[in-house]
Amino acid sequence: MKPKLKRVFQCQSCGYISPKWIGKCPDCGAWNSFVEEVIEAESISKKAETARLKTLEDIQPVPISSIKITLSDRLSTGISELDRVLGGGVVRGSLVLIGGDPGIGKSTLLLQATDNLAKKYGRVLYVSGEESLTQIKLRAERLGAISENILLLSETLVEKILDWASEEELNALVVDSIQTVYTEEAMSAPGSVSQIRESATKFINFAKQKGIPVFLIGHVTKEGAIAGPRVLEHLVDTVLYFEGDRGYAYRILRSVKNRFGPTNEIGVFEMTGTGLIEVENPSLIFLSEHSQNSGSAITATIEGTRAILTEIQALVAPSNFGMPRRNFIGVDYQRVNLLVAVLEKRGRINLAGADIFVNVVGGLKITEPSSDLAVISAIVSSFRDIPLHEGMVIFGEVGLSGEIRAISQTEMRLKEASRIGMKHAIIPKSNLERLKEKFNLKIKGVGSINELIEIIGS
């Protein structure tokens, strides 16, 4: 019997179904996200019923103590920055989604990983729905990734890919990209939410059954989320984002979800003529051209499991227009506006008629409030045109009444600062009192922004 088909409108962001077109999704709030799709009527309830009957048959709880974890459950991709972001290698049977803007280097990274996996463990299948086999070969030659054990397949039908892959001996599967493949089970066009969800579910089942890792490449929409984002992010085990300005050579790989490791861990890469190379010492890179002029402050942020030093620059200049310009890159816009207000009210620095620009050098996006103190220092330093001490690292959170609040992991930050060769540190007073270790740094504790402004002035 032919399944009954039904036309509906589905939100491409969260999968919400509506019988008619609507401008704003009532579920996730996305605008203009509804697209007409064809689905099987009753398919959802029927599928749920079959799934229930199936699980009832093989329900078998096991005692938690009897579950063994072995180290061989993880494969090393041969790229240590990628392994670290994954939580120490990729877990067998897991599904990893890698998202990022076009041209950022997703295919390059995965082809390099494929080559390493193939050399170490044996056959790896790289499926591309985006590029021809010749194009991939050209890239592979550039990267020197031409191991015998890399198998290439140019195919977009999920059933065909998995039929072949299930029969063969494979150690990993890469799908480039999830938006180009489609399954016969969903009626809509490739790239639509229902296609992405159905296809991803098939890859998940395949990964679990076969016990090999599957990497999916995902495109990013204008808004910066993976197309068909929520549905996909919920399904997979690990979500990594590849970020960075295409104008710069540096790329940052960040884990935003990881069932098998820490989140917010970052890996830093440099795009070269022969592929991506790992940057093992990101602090040195971010500080390599660090300026000795006024308006520059160095802070230490925690990214996942390690501390990284970066430079924050500010430029404060008299405004020529009625409305002063405020432009902040790499830091939270609202947060910096708040810090400017605190500086005006508590620090008695009049910034009302000034244009203020703040930039985090090297393309890192800082989300931690621990950078507050460095942002304020950079602004004050530029405003007064006084350079900060050479080799000084600054971190701490600033409260609304101008007090400096304690932050976490002070020791890790100071350790990294002294390893990089910093000489001075300004940290919250309460953190200084609690310090247990000794560091090769002259450390000053500050309790309010006025104390900080005094230090900058002296």
Q: What residue numbers does the annotated binding site for ATP cover? A: 100-107
- Tell me: does residue 410 bind Mg ion (CB under 5 A): no
CB of 124 or CB of 186, closer to ligand TYD: 124
Give φ, ψ of 241 to 5 degrees.
Answer: -115, 135
Give Dmax (Cα) for the chain.
85
- Tell me: does residue 107 bind Mg ion (CB under 5 A): yes
CB of 178 or CB of 300, closer to Mg ion: 178
CB of 197 vs ligand TYD, minimal distance in Å? 22
Binding residues for ligand TYD (CB under 6 A):
100, 102-108, 139, 142-143, 271, 273-275
Query: Residue 139 binds which one of ligand TYD, Mg ion, none, with CB within 5 to 8 A depending on kind?
Result: ligand TYD
CA 157 – CA 203 distance, rounded (Å): 12
CA dihedral 375, 394, 429, 263 (to 10 degrees): 80
Query: Residue 188 binds which one of ligand TYD, Mg ion, none, with CB within 5 to 8 A depending on kind?
Result: none
- Tell me: does residue 112 bind Mg ion (CB under 5 A): no
CB of 131 vs Mg ion, minimal distance in Å? 7
CB of 274 vs ligand TYD, minimal distance in Å? 5
CB of 220 or CB of 287, closer to ligand TYD: 220
CB of 139 vs ligand TYD, minimal distance in Å? 5
Query: Residue 308 binds which one of ligand TYD, Mg ion, none, with CB within 5 to 8 A depending on kind?
Result: none
Query: Residue 35 binds which one of ligand TYD, Mg ion, none, with CB within 5 to 8 A depending on kind?
Result: none
CB of 258 vs ligand TYD, minimal distance in Å? 20
CB of 187 or CB of 276, closer to ligand TYD: 276
Query: Residue 275 binds which one of Mg ion, ligand TYD, none, with CB within 5 to 8 A depending on kind?
Result: ligand TYD
CB of 301 vs Mg ion, minimal distance in Å? 30
Find the residue with minimal CB distance to Mg ion.
107
Q: Which of 245, 244, 236 lies closest to 218, judged by CA?
A: 236
Say if residues 252 and 101 touch (Cβ distance below 8 Å).
no
CB of 277 or CB of 435, closer to ligand TYD: 277
CB of 100 or CB of 402, closer to ligand TYD: 100
CB of 227 vs ligand TYD, minimal distance in Å? 14
Binding residues: 100-107
CB of 118 or CB of 373, closer to ligand TYD: 118
Rule CB under 5 A: which of 117-146 touch Mg ion?
none
Binding site for Mg ion (CB under 5 A): 107
